[in-house]
Structure 1
Amino acid sequence: MARLRTARRILMGGAALAAAGWALRDVPAELGVRPLTSGPDRVARIRRSPQFRDGVFVNTMPETTLVTTPPSGMLRELARDRDQRRPAGPVPLRVPPAGEASAGVRAVWFGHATTLVEIEGRRVLFDPVWSKRPSPSQLAGPKRHHPMPMSLRELPQVDAIAISHDHYDHLDMATVRSLTALQRAPFLVPLGIGAHLERWGVPAYRIIELDWEEEAEVAGLRFVATAARHFSGRTLTRNDTLWGSWVVAGPAKRVFYAGDSGYFEGYRGIGSAHGPFDLTLMPVGAYSPAWPDIHMNPEEAVNAHLDLGGRLLLPVHWATFTLALHPWSEPVERLWREAKARDVSIAVPRPGEAVDADAAPAVDGWWETLA
């Protein structure tokens, strides 16, 4: 009997090791590619970029925060009060609408930054992440707090897929590979990120790489890559790909997607050059006094929305993954207070819930029971 138990433990241990090995097999590919080692045309474009200096991409505004190492004591703080940084119960989901895309502007927030925007009959998917963890390995990293409202196979055909930068919570290899197989749309990405996509099997003809203030027309929509105050990197090497935000303009409607960014005065220039906007998608979560340059807080998101000339603000970058020390619901609580104080229109949908920019549902505080 003892031998049987020993044999069972050995088999179970071997199975666990095999499972771990299988889960880790894609880590080298997940890390992506250093763009300066990719094709000569891409390398030449990178070196010509006004944002590229001394071998890396840089922000155009002064930086005060070092982001190469976590703040002192952060790991200790993460271990405390963990229950406050996750919902107290299941996050309510909604079934996204089927049928034709809206002739106006309609958005379906899937969670974190992933959002499907319909603009004048076209569909644009921003920063799609369907994986369980935003990490190079699904064995480690922040685990999502709610399922996706629909599977990738249920997703309708989209006209464009726009990526803001190459961090794992915005650029997910497994999702990119699935979208490459299931969809026909091109990927619009900041300069350098095309090298990652090519390694993951995206055909070159489906990749559109843009520097800030460069633009492309896709399916009758004008896409402009605009600035953000952030950084990039999928390894310890930083800033070898560009980060950014997106302007999407149809004949009559305009949408702005901020990606990840600290607040900066450049929003006024973007609003003046490309606004006003029927809808802005603004990040409101994962902020900290330790990194004010790279993630804005909810009050700054309102400031940026007003700088941009936005009409309706839809908050993203919260609720799905715990990436900072603040309580789970704090971002929208602060946003709601600030919006009411400054007479700013916001929508706070449940994941999967559609928001019509011309008839947004009233904010009902659905998250309060989960705080």
Structure 2
Amino acid sequence: MRFAWHGAGCSSLEVGGRRFTVDPYFSRPGAYGDWYIPNRRAPTPTQYLRDFRPDYVVITHGHFDHFDPEAIKWIDPAAAPRYIATPEATRVLQDVCGVPAERCLPLEPGRSLALDGGLEVRAWRGAHWFTGPEGDEAAKKLAHHYGAMPSGGAMLEILITGPDGKAFVSGDTRLEGIPDVGGCRLAVVNIGTRMPNPRTKVPEAPVLTLADVPALLERLRPRTLVPVHWDVDGWLEPFDLEACRRAAEAARPGTRVLTPEPNAWVDVP
């Protein structure tokens, strides 16, 4: 099993000999409008296709920093992966990005997919603003400006199970969206502090926080924990990676907290 972080909530995993990219967010400045905040750690297209060419692309939800349609438009013809996403995101993949229907694998919370190589992908429903019915409504209003909100649909929490163990990857979610699956070899979790709610402008924690680490580890019981998404612009307070390591060690001694250099494969013990 291998892992690579591409900045923000985007990562690649190699499980059971297959490569997965989760939540590609690679577009450069100018790809959308002035509102767009690029992922400053994203690989170049050349580097990505050379080192991380995916067999599968997983999209956890339809927000632009997890579902970047302009990036899909160059990934798809070059790599021809299969896509695992909600039905709502799948429609955008086909209608906007030109992905053939036969390479789209719709997945809803509570369901699973059997993949080649003896792999299984299972999904749970995460808890985050502008997903579910609220996200459906927002996506309709922003259809003319699809980069800001490519699709509605659920927030997916993903477990990939293969012959070399279990890898859990969260979307953006609060603690209530994390399932009790246990025994994960790898857990990649979107974590941060607070930011203003887009609707109310009131500061709140839309994703996992440092205070959630003990309960998170109890539910997933990973050998290796990788915090991601803490580096994006917009957090009102910086995320403390060292405090995360201390909290993990206190909650489950021996848990490895990995903060890898961007765009480099790391072996997962």
TM-score (norm 1): 0.60
**Aligned residue number for residue 109 of structure 2:** 212
Deviation above 6 Å: which 4+ runs of structure 1? none
Q: What does 1:312-331 align with in structure 2 at a 5 Å threshold?
A: 312-319=224-231, 321-327=232-238, 330-331=239-240
Alpha-carbon deviation of 1:156?
4.1
Extract unaligned runs of 5+ from structure 2: 143-148, 196-201
The structure-2 alpha-carbon separation of the partners of 1:122 and 1:246, relative to structure 1 and needing over 3 Å to count, comes to same
Match of 1:257 among 169, 194, 201: 169
Alpha-carbon deviation of 1:195?
1.3
* CA–CA distance in structure 1, aligned partners of residues 15 and 56 of structure 2: 11
**Aligned residue number for residue 291 of structure 1:** 204
Q: What does 1:151-230 align with in structure 2 at a 5 Å threshold?
A: 151-199=47-95, 200-220=97-117, 221-230=119-128
Q: What per-residue deviation string (whole Å, max 9, x for no partner) do you get for residues 259-308 of structure 1?
A: 110111x53xx334xx421000011225348333x311133145213212
* CA–CA distance in structure 2, aligned partners of residues 164 and 178 of structure 1: 19
Match of 2:250 among 328, 338, 341: 341
* CA–CA distance in structure 2, aligned partners of residues 186 and 351 of structure 1: 24
**Match status 1:247 vs 2:159:** yes
Q: What per-residue deviation string (whole Å, max 9, x for no partner) do you get for residues 55-102 of structure 1?
A: xxxxxxxxxxxxxxxxxxxxxxxxxxxxxxxxxxxxxxxxxxxxxxxx
Q: What does 1:88-127 align with in structure 2 at a 5 Å threshold?
A: 105-127=1-23
Residue identity in the other structure for 2:111: E
**Aligned residue number for residue 308 of structure 1:** 220
Alpha-carbon deviation of 1:207?
0.9
TM-score (norm 2): 0.81
Larger gyration radius, structure 1 or structure 2: 1
**Aligned residue number for residue 186 of structure 2:** 279
SS in 2 for 1:129: coil
**Aligned residue number for residue 144 of structure 1:** 39
The structure-2 alpha-carbon separation of the partners of 1:159 and 1:261, relative to structure 1 and needing over 3 Å to count, comes to same
Residue identity in the other structure for 1:280: A
Contact 1:255/1:278 (CA < 8 Å) preserved in 2?
yes
Extract unaligned runs of 5+ from structure 1: 1-104, 359-371
Alpha-carbon deviation of 1:217?
1.7
Aligned residues: 244
Structure having the larger proportion of residues in strand: 2
Q: What per-residue deviation string (whole Å, max 9, x for no partner) do you get for residues 108-157 of structure 1?
A: 11111111101121111111111135x98243332433452763432443
